[in-house]
Chains A and B, each alone.
Chain A
Amino acid sequence: MAAPMAGRLAALGRRLAPPARAWLPGLTQVRWSRYGPSYLEPEVNKEVYRTPLEGLSEEEKTQQELKTLQPIKATASNVTSSVFSDPTISKFTNMMMKGGNKVLARSIVTQTLEAIKRNQIEKYHQASEEERESIECNPYIIFHQALKNCQPIIGLCNIQKGGKTYQVPSPLKDNRKRFLAMKWLITECREHKHHRTFMHEKLSQELLQAFNNEGPVIKRKHDMHKMAEANRAYAHYRWW
């Protein structure tokens, strides 16, 4: 991919950043921000402001003083100080969203969580004493675990050599793994299920299956691993 080239450019940009020169001949900035370098990131977590001054280390004290002097960037609209906010769920909602309809995407995700919880609590109440320990009722834990189970360990990337494109096994970054897991889940529900069932029903079934390490998404992950294993010979085509 363009990964190695972009990596080199990023490294070059970082080395040149301290002199605070935003412009260099021959180097065009692709991603830039209206905020200058002195702007700090906002802190949304209420707990941080509640810790007493004595509890902080020297470093944190200097940081607090810096915050009173330096300007702070505005928070994004999807970030809240709510105790129930979850960045993974937000990311998943954004990926579900079509045409900017965040209301619909969010309602689907909340209905999915509700459906998972209802399923599990029904099972819990009908199960016997010994089985109750093993039944997980928290939809958030199920969601996170299912996503973790769907993440591939190794991925394939296209490398062109001698006019042919080879699928070369390569390690994946964390972000890429999370993205692939979510993407597979959503695509599976959208394309391979009956179109008249509700999305939240399909999603909840998929998530519960992935939580138990079964289902089509886990199969897709295993297929990816097998392809990587099969293309082991081309591994040396990768130079990073």
Chain B
Amino acid sequence: MLRSVKGVICQGPKLDSGYFLHASARAWLSAAVNQDVQIPAEKPRKVFRTNESNPANHAEQHEGQHYSIPLQEVNVVFPHGLPYRFQMQMKTFNESCLMVRKPALELLGYLKNTNFAHPAIRYVIYGEKGTGKTMTLCHAVHYCAKQDWLVLHIPDAHLWVKNCRELMQSSYNKERFDQPLEASIWLKNFKTSNDHFLKEIKTQQTYMWSKRESTEKGRPLGEVVEQVSPEELTLVHNLRKMVGNDWNGGAIVTTLSQTGSLFKPRSAYLPHELLGKEGFDTLDPFIPIQVSNYSQREFESCYQYYLDRKWLQHERASTEEGRKELLFLSNSNPWQLERISAYL
């Protein structure tokens, strides 16, 4: 699945080529002027950024490049859902840049071709720890927000099930329990991202939404054993109803993660391992999308991005030796690379 592209592809035309010399002065160089000192002379100019900020236009040629989302848009589209370390990075660099990767492009292709008359298709993003599943999901969410879909983004289902502070008996159904804290936080964030849709939604018993897309993340549950089992939680009950593909006019994208899951070994990353029999049966059938470590080209792109943003400050980090050592220490794992370059 990984294309190990040796060397780099020099991007031809106009908009996509160039460097960011300054965060403030975003002047694109149309001429092929090589001003960066860290590029060795024999290799062609490396391009790690793209000007294309609309995910709908992302294609194969943008693979490995970073595209930036304006900060106001980030606050609207992602009130929750971005990983904590990425939020810190956004604050430090004063910009938010996502890398365009193959699994995301695949998912966007499927989403572009959704037939709204058919029942909603379920997509499951899975992969080893730290390979970029959440970021792929965020990329898809950004695309959907740009396409004016209604986005129901649940960042972490584990947060709803574990460590609940308050439980109230539900007034609607006596056997179920409500979690007012988690529900109110999620509703506030939902309101921020979908403000313009809320006027169109009328409170009825049966909900008929014109165009609906629900994005949720986390592992649909199963074996969580607590004093209150998850079947008894209202939030979880409704989540399960949404995950069922008996409605049409949208898509369901989920991400499996081992972090936060209970009673699962650290090395488990495949869907049937993490979901268990019950969860798998609930989600079945689905389209699996695997996310893996960086390819050569993606690693190079990430490395150049960090150098450009002055994140890699160590004087040896910009040398060839340093780059090889980073590759070795991180094993091209995005999470690991980010953590190592944090203190270098």
Contact = CB atoms under 8 A, between A and B. Distances in A.
Contact of A84 (B91, B309, B316): B316
A89 to B, nearest CB: 10
B322 A139 contact: no
A114 B344 CA distance: 8
B23 to A, nearest CB: 6
Contacts of A194: none
A124 interface: yes
A30 to B, nearest CB: 38
Nearest to B344: A84
A104 to B, nearest CB: 15
Nearest to B23: A125
Most buried by B among A84, A117, A118, A139: A84
B310 A139 contact: no
A69 B302 CA distance: 46
Given A83-B321, A83-B322, A122-B91, A114 B342 contact: yes
A197 B171 CA distance: 42
A82 B343 CA distance: 14
A84 B313 contact: no
A84 B314 contact: yes
Given A84-B317, A110-B342, A110-B343, A121 B325 contact: no
Interface residues of A, number: 19
A64 interface: no
B343 A83 contact: no
Contact of B313 (A110, A122, A125, A137): A137
A139 B311 CA distance: 11
Contacts of B314: 84, 138, 140
A168 interface: no
A124 B314 CA distance: 17
Interface in A104-159: 110-111, 113-114, 117-118, 121-122, 124-126, 137-140
Interface residues of B, number: 21
Interface string B86-115: 001001111000000000000000000000
Contacts of B325: 82-84
A54 B310 CA distance: 38
Contacts of A117: 311, 313, 342-343
Nearest to B89: A118
Nearest to A126: B94
Contacts of A113: 343
Interface string A38-54: 00000000100000000
A137 B88 contact: no
B242 to A, nearest CB: 38
Given A83-B319, A84-B316, A125-B94, A118 B88 contact: yes
Given A83-B316, A137-B313, A118 B322 contact: no
Most buried by A among B88, B311, B319, B343: B343
A114 to B, nearest CB: 4
B281 interface: no
B291 to A, nearest CB: 25
A118 B92 contact: yes
Nearest to B91: A122
Interface in B166-210: none
B322 A84 contact: yes
B42 interface: no
Nearest to A140: B314
A4 B156 CA distance: 66
A124 B88 CA distance: 16
B92 A122 contact: yes
Contacts of B342: 110, 114, 117
Nearest to A136: B313
Given A110-B342, A111-B343, 12 more contacts: A46-B321, A83-B322, A83-B325, A84-B316, A84-B322, A114-B342, A121-B92, A121-B310, A125-B92, A126-B94, A137-B310, A138-B314
Q: Which 3 pairs between the two chains have the least Cβ-Cβ distance?
A: A110-B343, A138-B313, A113-B343
Interface of B: 23, 88, 91-94, 309-311, 313-317, 319, 321-322, 325, 342-344
23 contacts: A83-B319, A83-B321, A83-B322, A83-B325, A84-B316, A84-B317, A84-B322, A110-B342, A114-B342, A117-B311, A118-B88, A121-B92, A121-B93, A121-B310, A122-B92, A125-B23, A125-B92, A125-B93, A137-B310, A137-B313, A138-B315, A139-B313, A139-B343
Interface of A: 46, 82-84, 110-111, 113-114, 117-118, 121-122, 124-126, 137-140
